[in-house]
Amino acid sequence: MSDSLTIAAPADFHVHLRQGEFAAFLAPYVRKGGFKLAYVMPNLRPPIANTEEALLYRAQLQAADPSIDYLMTLYLSPELTPEEIRKAKRAGVVGVKSYPRGVTTNSDGGIESYEAYYSVFEAMEQEDMVLNLHGEVPSDASTNTCVLNAEPAFLPHLRKLHARFPCLRIVLEHATTRAAVECVKSLGDTVACTITAHHLALTVDDWAGQSWHFCKPVAKYPDDRQALRDVIKEGHPRFFLGSDSAPHPPHTKSTASPLHACAAGVYTSAILLPLVAHLLESFGALDRLEGFVSTYGRAFYRVPASDADKVIIRRVSGKLVDEQLVQGEQSVVPFWAGKEIAWEIGDS
Amino acid sequence: MSDSLTIAAPADFHVHLRQGEFAAFLAPYVRKGGFKLAYVMPNLRPPIANTEEALLYRAQLQAADPSIDYLMTLYLSPELTPEEIRKAKRAGVVGVKSYPRGVTTNSDGGIESYEAYYSVFEAMEQEDMVLNLHGEVPSDASTNTCVLNAEPAFLPHLRKLHARFPCLRIVLEHATTRAAVECVKSLGDTVACTITAHHLALTVDDWAGQSWHFCKPVAKYPDDRQALRDVIKEGHPRFFLGSDSAPHPPHTKSTASPLHACAAGVYTSAILLPLVAHLLESFGALDRLEGFVSTYGRAFYRVPASDADKVIIRRVSGKLVDEQLVQGEQSVVPFWAGKEIAWEIGDS
């Protein structure tokens, strides 16, 4: 077993960096977690709905940590037009994120039907922009739809979009089910899939009664987790890391009140590369680390790695993940808090 | 719609009353919730393992509230012998509760295999005692077993026990799945099933990120909840109320720490009869209230209702469930806290 590994510039193709002071606190942890590329989610309050807002948001993030390459996305909403897509492309915006209405943090303005956006998708296909899908349908007791089967129920939408826009690059984000893995594998090379670190560790048992492990999509059955692990172990190039690292102030994660659910999200950015190495090694896939965290996603997104951005990780023993990260009045609790982790970022 | 209903002496055939000062605090709330019969679970620390302990526990509960009829149970463990069963029967103990190892609160000493207890079950069958089953198998990732399918995976054990001991009265406790309902319906008249109030209200979406709704067994899919509602609406006499009211000190329900899961349990005793009326009315089964909360369970357990113990409930509007019940240093948060409830206990 190696005691250190050199990884081509890691890239996190799905991360929530929040806004304001919380963002200023969080952005530097992306780099501390081993990443200099962050594909930034647009679900702020209000959402990043147009090019101007995306550029302003990027400028704020650059002020917080100028060393990171922020790839920006827009929030799919009626405000988005084919003209705006072309403008966004010229300004360097990379993708558009679709949230079904009401399924996760700040998705109240999410979409209800895709047909209304076909002209936008056509423009995205022409401009070679990426469509990022939060692949869940809203819960509906009358159809037996709940957080457990919301992802499989979404997959027909993915198939339909891919059939209608075969050249549009689509990413099914944070897949959590065997059904999603098999669906993406069955589709063409323009369809990829991100997998988070925490979904490689958790099953439903881990968030039952443990709100710190609660995120959307929720972790599913052990067999679903196995499917995620297997597709990584297989080294499938259309499955790569998108951490969905989703920080929340600690008081919103601890369910002190019986009247309100806690915020959905697991925060992994600050320990991301060591954590992914730790988890991949746990199921015998450490040899796929570079592909999963760097080369596969970079190939799909067409953002080559710079040799200068290689990262070294080294094996460590007895190291525990911090129980909390604090700076002034800002704080966040990382995933794996207080648990032993077998890798750390080395000197580059 | 009636504005008041008179219900034959309600009986809660599955309740956790805890021990010590917490029990002294909680016992009177059984009556305030409309019940004078409590079928008491034995999973204390240490568990109620023999007749002597059961009688001592009953005396403690009687000291806390002498107006309640406490039906006592023993915890199935290697300590239990056919001789002890006969002794327990003579002392008025009604049933024996089986907990698979590790699946819920204080089940560390639970059983791993039933064969070892066949001589005990034979004695119970002879003595006409009731076997109460927590019907879940432990989670096991290698067989894709988790909290979601732990109950269906248990059902073959129920079928096997019933086939081997057809005259033994068995209750599958707190059923949460369509599979369990269908299984019990398919078995003989010696097999019954309790249903809690909270499982008539909750699905998995309600405990996702909301630890106050986390209990074992966890609430399942909307279709499972529908099966519970339907079998009550049908008025099936082998399906009756066992609240599984499981109080915990509030700090153990609020997941302040990322290192520990919260306690499993929902507390309904203090509002039980109004809550059940409210829920049954919500799905058109108010006409089954008396059967579900009284006559069906009493018939199965052979504890007839006394005319003196009828309870009147009356319709109320604008009433909210207390957010917390407090007495000195003891406190508990009821289910439905802060929400409107359409019925209350009337003057008898």
Spell out the SS3 assignment of B3-37: CEEEECCCEEEEECCCCHHHHHHHHHHHHHCCCCE
- Give the confidence band of B253 by pLDDT, cuts at 50, 70, 90: confident
CB atoms within 10 A of CB B140: 12
**Per-residue pLDDT at A269 exceeds 70:** yes
The answer to whether B340 contacts chain A (CB < 8 Å) is no
Min Cα distance B16 → chain A (Å) is 19
**Per-residue pLDDT at A112 exceeds 70:** no
**Per-residue pLDDT at B224 exceeds 70:** yes
* Beta-carbon separation of B146 and A218 below 8 A: no
Chain segment B9-66, per-residue pLDDT in tens: 999 999 999 999 999 999 999 999 999 999 999 999 999 999 999 999 999 999 999 9
The whole-angstrom separation of Cα B288 and Cα A104 is 38
Cβ-based contacts of B323 with chain A (< 8 Å): 258-259
Min Cα distance A81 → chain B (Å) is 35
Residues 6+ apart with CB under 8 A from A59: none
Q: Is the four-CA dihedral B133, B136, B137, B138 of positive or negative sign?
A: negative
Question: What are the distances in angstroms from CA B234 to CA B184, B226, B228, B240, B252?
Answer: 14, 12, 10, 12, 38
Cβ-based contacts of B256 with chain A (< 8 Å): 254, 256
* Beta-carbon separation of A221 and B264 below 8 A: no
Min Cα distance B203 → chain A (Å) is 8
What residues of chain B, 175 to 204, have a C-beta less than 8 Å from chain A? 203-204
Q: Model pTM?
A: 0.96
Q: Residue A276 has what pLDDT?
A: 98
A11-15 and A37-40 as β-strands: parallel, antiparallel, unpaired?
parallel
**Per-residue pLDDT at B67 exceeds 60:** yes
Mean pLDDT of A85-92: 98
Min Cα distance A255 → chain B (Å) is 5
Please answer whether residues B187 and B142 qualify as being in contact, where contact means their C-beta atoms are separated by less than 8 angstroms: no
How does DSSP assign B230-292, residue by residue? HHHHTT-TTEEE---B----HHHHS---TTSPPPP----GGGHHHHHHHHHHHTT-GGGHHII
Q: Residue A256 has what pLDDT?
A: 60
Percent of chain A with pLDDT over 90: 90
- What is the DSSP code (8-state) at residue A8? S
Cβ-based contacts of A176 with chain B (< 8 Å): none
* Beta-carbon separation of A258 and B222 below 8 A: no
- Rounded to two decimals, the ipTM of the complex is 0.94
- Give the confidence band of A314 by pLDDT, cuts at 50, 70, 90: very high
Q: Residue B109 has what pLDDT?
A: 65
Q: Which of A19-28, B109-118, B194-203 has the lowest mean pLDDT?
A: B109-118
**Per-residue pLDDT at B255 exceeds 80:** no
* Beta-carbon separation of B221 and A148 below 8 A: yes
How does DSSP assign A236-282, residue by residue? -TTEEE---B----HHHHS---TTSPPPP----GGGHHHHHHHHHHH
Q: Residue A113 has what pLDDT?
A: 79
Closest-approach residue (CA) in chain A for B224: A144
The answer to whether B301 contacts chain A (CB < 8 Å) is no
The whole-angstrom separation of Cα B270 and Cα B337 is 11
Q: Residue B178 has what pLDDT?
A: 98
Q: Residue A253 has what pLDDT?
A: 86
Among A146, A254, A259, whose Cβ lies nearest the Cβ of B254?
Answer: A254
A4-7 and A311-315 as β-strands: parallel, antiparallel, unpaired?
antiparallel
Give, for A169, the enclosing helix (H) or strand (E): strand A169-172
Residue whose structure tokens are 């059983």: B111
* Beta-carbon separation of B256 and A258 below 8 A: no
* Structural Rg of chain A based on CA atoms: 19
Beta strands of B106-225 (E only): which ranges? 130-133, 169-172, 191-195
The whole-angstrom separation of Cα B320 and Cα A273 is 49
Cβ-based contacts of B253 with chain A (< 8 Å): 258
**Per-residue pLDDT at B79 exceeds 80:** yes
Chain segment B320-344, per-residue pLDDT in tens: 999 999 999 999 999 999 999 999 9
Most A CBs within 10 A among B139, B212, B218, B271, hence the mutation to make, goes to B212
* Beta-carbon separation of B139 and A262 below 8 A: no
**Per-residue pLDDT at B207 exceeds 90:** yes
Please answer whether residues A140 and A178 qualify as being in contact, where contact means their C-beta atoms are separated by less than 8 angstroms: no
Min Cα distance A220 → chain B (Å) is 9
Among A209, A218, A263, whose Cβ lies nearest the Cβ of B264?
Answer: A209
Percent of chain B with pLDDT over 70: 96
Q: Residue A348 has what pLDDT?
A: 53
Question: What are the distances in angstroms from CA B158 to CA A177, A186, A340, B162, B180?
Answer: 31, 41, 41, 6, 10
Among B208, B253, B263, whose Cβ lies nearest the Cβ of A147?
Answer: B208
* Beta-carbon separation of B141 and A254 below 8 A: no
**Per-residue pLDDT at B103 exceeds 80:** no
Min Cα distance A291 → chain B (Å) is 27
- Give the confidence band of B158 by pLDDT, cuts at 50, 70, 90: very high
Among B221, B261, B323, whose Cβ lies nearest the Cβ of A210?
Answer: B261
Q: Residue A2 has what pLDDT?
A: 75
Q: Residue A325 has what pLDDT?
A: 97
Q: Residue B101 has what pLDDT?
A: 79
- Give the confidence band of B261 by pLDDT, cuts at 50, 70, 90: confident
Closest-approach residue (CA) in chain B for A150: B205
The answer to whether A326 contacts chain B (CB < 8 Å) is no
Cβ-based contacts of A210 with chain B (< 8 Å): 211, 255, 258, 260-262
What residues of chain A, 199 to 228, have a C-beta less than 8 Å from chain B? 203-205, 207-212, 214, 218, 221-223, 225-226
Q: Residue B258 has what pLDDT?
A: 73
**Per-residue pLDDT at A137 exceeds 90:** yes
Q: Which of A200-214, A321-335, B181-195, B249-263 has the lowest mean pLDDT?
A: B249-263
Residue whose structure tokens are 């019990």: B184
Closest among B211, B245, B187, B335 to B15, alpha carbons compared: B245
* Beta-carbon separation of B146 and A264 below 8 A: no
The answer to whether B55 contacts chain A (CB < 8 Å) is no
Closest-approach residue (CA) in chain A for B103: A205
Closest-approach residue (CA) in chain A for B149: A221
Q: Where are the domains of chain A?
A: 4-345
What residues of chain B, 98 to 157, have a C-beta less than 8 Å from chain A? 139, 141-142, 144-149
Min Cα distance A161 → chain B (Å) is 28
The whole-angstrom separation of Cα A215 and Cα A202 is 11
Chain segment A39-68, per-residue pLDDT in tens: 999 999 999 999 999 999 999 999 999 999
Q: For domain B4-345, which CATH number applies: 1.25.40.10, 3.40.50.300, 3.20.20.140, 3.40.980.20?
A: 3.20.20.140
Cβ-based contacts of B252 with chain A (< 8 Å): none
**Per-residue pLDDT at A223 exceeds 70:** yes
Q: Residue A342 has what pLDDT?
A: 97
Among B223, B254, B337, whose Cβ lies nearest the Cβ of A255?
Answer: B254
Q: Residue B259 has what pLDDT?
A: 75
The whole-angstrom separation of Cα A18 and Cα A106 is 11
